[in-house]
Every structure is written in structure tokens, then in C-alpha cells.
Amino acid sequence: MALDVTDSAGRADQLLAGLLLAPGRRERITHVHRAPARTARPADWPAWTPPVLVERWGACGIDRPWAHQVAAAEHAHAGRSVVLATGTASGKSLAYLLPALTAVLDAADGPATACPGVLYLSPTKALAADQLAGLTRLQLGPELRPACFDGDTPYAERDWIRSHANYLLTNPDMLHRTLLPGHARWARFLKNLSVVVVDECHTYRGVFGSHVAQVLRRLRRVCARYGSSPVFVLTSATVSDPAVSAERLTGLPVVEVTDDASPRGEAAFVLWEPPLTDHQGEGSAPVRRTAIAETADLLTDLVLNDAQTVAFVRSRRGAEVVALLTRDALAEVDPALAGQVASYRGGYLPEERRALEHRLRAGLLRGLAATNALELGIDVAGLDAVVLAGYPGTRASMWQQAGRAGRAGQGALAVLVARDDPLDTYLVHHPDALFGRPVEATVLDPDNPYVLAPHLCAAASESPLTERDLDLFGPTAELLLPTLEQRGLLRRRPTGWFWTRRDPASALADIRGTGGAQIRVCEVDTGRLLGTVDGAASHTQAHTGAVYLHQGRQYLVRSLDLAECVALVEPAEPDYSTSAREVTDIAIVDTVHRRPWGEQVEVCFGTVEVTNQVVSYLRKRLVTGEVLDETPLDLPPRHLRTRAVWWTVTPDAVAEAEVEIADLPGAAHAAEHASIGLMPLFATCDRWDIGGVSTALHPDTMLPTVFVYDGHPGGAGFAERGFAAAEQWLRATRDAIASCECATGCPSCVQSPKCGNGNNPLDKAGAVRLLDRVLAEADDIETDDIETAGTDTAESVEFAAAG
């Protein structure tokens, strides 16, 4: 594309011009989106603001609040729960600190036992630590007693926190596992709880969000027991329908504030497509240069250009590799700079992460390759540029990551580097799908019986459940209670439902849905613990033969022992990466909704039983992506009862689409892969959160069928969104396949990185014709046309301790 950036003097354009100096770079840009600068709209401090706060914030350079900060603070001060949905770095912290600290300081002269308390919830420990540092800087004296309470808090400090803290910074996990089950020990704090801050509330989505919604209901119930009724303040830079989402999350009426009055520097957001290479992938398909290699090049150039840059990489492994390649490249030019580049991801020890955050803030690190563990709200000032190695899965996440650059009103550059997959390819060629559109709806289903059942047990163990509590937990609660009684988990007595066991009920709910026990990753010779991997992820990431990376060092997994929950690794220097392959079977348990599209096509939504097995892994050259070989694995199958969307098509329609019977498996398979790739455009999910199966004849439908299912027990709401937006979703799928420049299918359109059948068979042209036929009589779903057929799954719920 024609691009003239040289005559503009802005910082973003200077950096972009620097990137374009290398040959062949200009052609890789598919679009530049520009966000103009915005001037600030300040307001007066509310009359009720304690003078000490005005003075302390003034000392930090904040002379007047911005209008949106005052609007949100006034709502909270008046007792109305509020969600503040304004851009990254728009000062959302001050908006909740103002009413929260006012409540604490106003009561400072009263009795210590009645001092109002603030509960601050953040999805990550790092964000809570960042907030605590900000509170401490305000130096408000002994009236404010803030404390972080998370898994890293030493036991010796916990007693002090319970007895004295009046500003508790914690996370939903601690609330669920420690604070609520042990509420009697926290009675002082809960009785006086006046403000609950739910920071970065858009992160509470899918299964995790549904669990958090129930944890918040349990919190409200316990508070009511102690006589308190806290106001909720929620924040997010990237949530659509803020009030609706916040109401679903808290179960309370919530007002929204969305008019952003903070200043912003000019920003450029560049879409970037790596070139095709001469290498051949599976089935001799062309291979694009990897987003990892391309990102490492951009990070190198930006660091050389004196731009402090964070590269966001989707996988932990990818973050390590980008840091490694960047350091190598810088070492050739300026060895001192190589030492100023690092990687950051979950799974590092807390002290390692804190040290990296500190070096980044202090400007000692010039380049960082990070996973989204760094994404949320950590106040990193002065970032000049952000590179996104692959679309992070949602527009919400994309804006969060891009928003790390250009804080405090500077100009900034963001570059999205497309990975070799259908969604990324579609997006860099359809900028309208990214810019000028609201972020996607937060998918949340607190009524999912798999989610609700363990929280009902937990609530009963916190205080017996009564009829009056049922409203709080929603209509599914009443349906579930008889099942929980039958299973012997709850017992009904005249005064309510009681938890019957001695073990903690909260252990029934794995709120992060991490899929079972953590696997410890240990060095074989020294026994040193390097980190941990989730149980469910261990089959794909820590199988025997996998390449595992930690702090830039590579290891090979020598063995994975699922019974002992340990993977033994040894240091190694392979020049390849590994990717696991899995095969999947699916059976329909219950069809909840059916939607015919004419006579020949039907789209359905319901409950399915999925059997998944990792069967092999591929070795791929690190930088080129070339496939070296495939090695079989012997891992047990995993079973999952979940929700799926599926479509069927009759043999007549297949014939009308001019797809031969012999080509049907390849056409359906290609359509399935691409539709999984495109689903994140419609539901807030990641392609790894969902899976698919396609078959030319499914035993339950007796028709050619393509399924896409939620990869979480009980479902996560993604398949349901796919069903609701089926026409747009399948149309985008069809367009993504048709517009890919390859001849017969490649990773940018119909190949899938985790296909257990080696991406075979795949028929790209057949998929387009099949989808054209499927869509021929499609129309937008009207609720009235949806036939609700099945029963819900309340009776079939199974979870951890129920079996």
C-alpha cells in the first residue's frame, strides 16, 4: 500500500519510518489506523473530598480530576454501584480511590471497630501489588492500613491483616478459597465493608467469569449476614455494554460512566502481514514467516531506535523465543542492549516477576517479550511502542495491550503482526473488523449448572442456604438443590440446606477451570522446580519430547508422569519447537435449540460428550515453521461434557454444492477448521478454548455434520454465541477461506495447528462451495424461530467430588 510517513514529525510516525528502512518491509503493511489526539476535560473535586487527598494527589501531579472520574466517584459516594468504562490510562484508579479512601478517612475519628473497609479485587497478583505500591506512595498515615492478601502472603502476616487491614487487595481465588469459607475470622472486616472494587472487570468472562459472578453473590450474602451492603465499583477499558455486563457479574443494578475526559496523544496502529516463504508445510502448503520471527525483528529495530517496547506474544513459549531471538540479534550490534531485553510470563516465581516489573518501570529494560500476564493495568509509564505477535483473540485484549504504549499523553506506535492462521489473515485484510467497532460482548453464564452447583455447596457451608437465598443465585439454583441432596452433598433440614461433609466445599469449584492438578516441571539432574503447568495443558505442553522454555533457556521434557503430577526436563538447545496433535470424538447428549435454514440445513445448539486424546507431536523449525517430523504419543483420553453448536446438511444439498461424496470429508473438515479460527470474532474466546469435529456421516444426526464445542465442562457460552450469530460467523468463515491467496489451503485459512489428523483431508474449494450452500437460505436468527427442544443439564451435572 502507498504509505507516506516521512513528512510527519509525530513520535509514532518516526518509529514506523524507522521500521520501514529494512528492504521489503513496506509491502507487509496492510493498513494503518490513526487515532487522533484528544484534549483533557477537567472537573472540580467533589465538595466531600478530604483536603488531604487533594493535597496528596496534587503532590503526584494531579491538580484536578477529569470529568469521568468525578462522575463515577459521585455515583459510588451516593451508594450507587457503578461501572467506569473509559480508555487505558484514563485514571480509573483515582475514580474508585476517591470514594473508597474518603469512606476510610471520614471515619478515622470514629471507633476502630467501625472503620469502613475497602475490598479491591484484581484478576492478577501483579496488578494488586501495583495498586498497593500506589496507595503506599500516597502516605496517608495510620488511618489507611492497606494489605495485599494472596497466595504469596506469609502466614505470619495474615493475622495482622485480619485484625487491622481496612483496604484489602486480593483476588477472586482468595475470596473463594479462604476469605468466604473462613468468614467468621474476617467478621470485623466484612461487617464494615463499604466499597468493593472490581478492577479490569472484562477479564471475568467465560467459565472463570461465571465462577466469579457466583463468588460475588456469595460475598454479598455473607456481608448481608454481618449487616453490611457494600457498593460495587467496576472498571474496564474494554468492555461492551458495561452496565449489562456489570449487572450480570454482580447481580446488582449498576450505572455506567463511559464518556472519557482524559487526554490522549496521537497513535498509529499498523496491521502487518509477514511474507510467504519458500518453505513447505504440511501437504506442501506454502508457509508464511512466523509472527514470532517477525516480532523479534521489529522488537530488535525498535530497541535500537531507543523505543521502549513490549512485544505481546500469545504463548509462554513464544515469549521466551522472541526474547531469545531479539537478544541474539542485538548482541551482534550492541551487546549492552542485549542485556536490556527479557521475557515475562505466568509460571515464573513471584519475585522474578516483581523484579522484571521494577526494571521495566525504571527504564532499565528496553524490550520485553511478555504474555498477557503483563497485560492488565500495570502502570508502565513511557512505553513508546507495542508489538502484538498475533491477534490476541479479542478486540478487548488487543486494545488493552496496545494501550500500554503512549501513556501520559505521548504519541505511540502499535503493530499487530498476523500469525499464519485464518483469523489473523482475515483481520489484517479486513481492518473494519477491528477498528471502529465496539469490543465484543462479555460472555458470561452464571447459571451454568456446572458452575453454580459447587458454589451452592460452598454457600451452604458458609451458612445454611434458605429459600430466601434462592433469588440471589438465580433460577437454576432451585433445580439443582434436589440433585445435590440426592448426591449426599447437601442435607435439607427445617432451617435450610446444610453442607454434609467435613472437607471444604470450596474445593469443588476450580474457578480458573485449569483442568485438574498442576503439573510440576522439575530439572532432572538437580530436582529444581522450574515452574508449573495446568493439568489439562500438560498433555499438549509438557508431554514427553516437548520443548519447554523457562527464562530464555530451553529444556526437553524427558518424561511426563501424570500420576505423580511431575514432568522431568533437561536443559537442551534444540532448533525446533514442538506442537501437540489431538483427535476428538463427539456424541450428542441433548439438543436444546434447533434452527432450520430452509429444508436442507439445520443449525443446532446443545449438550455433547467429547472425548479428546493427544496422539502425537510435530517438530517444527523455530524460525521458518518448516515441519521436521511427527512422533506418536501414548497419553490417555480425556472426557468432557460440554455445549456445542453444530450444523447439518443433507446429501441433496451437498450434491447441489457440487461437492462429490469422496470430497465431502475434506470440505467439511476445512470448513470446521476455519470456523474455529473465526469464532473468536463473535464470542470472547480463544481458538484454544474451543474445539471442533467434522464428519461426513455422524451417528447421532445421520447426516454430514460440523461441530464446534466449548472446551470447558458444562460449556462457557462460546458455542451459544456461535449459534446466536451463526449466519455472520459462517459467512466470515466462508470469506476468510475464499480470500486467502494460497491455492489449496494453508495455515492462514483451513489448516489447524492442533489437528490430530495431520490436516488431512482438507478441500479448500469444496469448503467454500459447501458453505455457500449452507448459507444460501440463512437469515438472522429471530428468537421466535428457535425451537427449544431439550431439557437442561441440571440433572446431569457432575463435578469434582460428586462421583
Ligand X SMILES: Nc1ncnc2c1ncn2[C@@H]1O[C@H](COP(=O)(O)OP(=O)(O)OP(=O)(O)O)[C@@H](O)[C@H]1O
Site residues for ligand X per CB under 6 A: 60, 62, 65-66, 69, 88-94, 237, 377, 379
Question: SS3 for 357?
Answer: helix
C-alpha distances out from residue 89 to 71, 359, 648, Å: 17, 20, 47
**Nearer to ligand X (CB atom), residue 131 or residue 166:** 131
**Nearer to ligand X (CB atom), residue 71 or residue 794:** 71
**Nearer to ligand X (CB atom), residue 388 or residue 755:** 388
The DSSP annotation for 647-658 comes to EEE-HHHHHHTT
**Nearer to ligand X (CB atom), residue 310 or residue 724:** 310
Q: Nearest CA to 32 among 437, 394, 431?
A: 431
**Nearer to ligand X (CB atom), residue 99 or residue 753:** 99
- Smallest distance, Å, CB 97 to ligand X? 8
Residues 377 and 392: beta-carbon distance below 8 Å:
no
Question: SS3 for 324?
Answer: helix
CB atoms within 10 A of CB 725: 20
- Smallest distance, Å, CB 210 to ligand X? 23
Measured CA to CA, the distance from residue 15 to residue 598 in angstroms comes to 53
- Smallest distance, Å, CB 517 to ligand X? 33
Question: Three cell numbers at 683?
Answer: 464470542
CB atoms within 10 A of CB 474: 15
- Smallest distance, Å, CB 628 to ligand X? 41
**Nearer to ligand X (CB atom), residue 73 or residue 749:** 73
- Smallest distance, Å, CB 56 to ligand X? 12
Burial class (CB in 10 A: 0-12, 13-18, 19+), 438: exposed
- Smallest distance, Å, CB 380 to ligand X? 9
Measured CA to CA, the distance from residue 311 to residue 416 in angstroms comes to 10
Residue closest to ligand X, measured at CB? 91
- Smallest distance, Å, CB 48 to ligand X? 17
664-678 and 422-429 helices, crossing angle to 10°: 60
**Nearer to ligand X (CB atom), residue 377 or residue 446:** 377
**Nearer to ligand X (CB atom), residue 92 or residue 205:** 92
- Smallest distance, Å, CB 159 to ligand X? 31
**Nearer to ligand X (CB atom), residue 69 or residue 300:** 69
HEC string of 143-208? HCCEEECCCCCCHHHHHHHHHHCCEEEECHHHHHHHHCCCHHHHHHHHHCEEEEEECCHHHCCHHH
- Smallest distance, Å, CB 60 to ligand X? 6
Q: Is the peptide bond before 651 cis (omega within 30 degrees of 0)?
A: no
Residues 700 and 686: beta-carbon distance below 8 Å:
no
HEC string of 771-782? HHHHHCCCCCCC
- Smallest distance, Å, CB 406 to ligand X? 11
**Nearer to ligand X (CB atom), residue 55 or residue 332:** 55
- Smallest distance, Å, CB 96 to ligand X? 9
**Nearer to ligand X (CB atom), residue 377 or residue 513:** 377
C-alpha distances out from residue 609 to 561, 589, 802, Å: 26, 7, 18
Residues 724 and 754: beta-carbon distance below 8 Å:
no
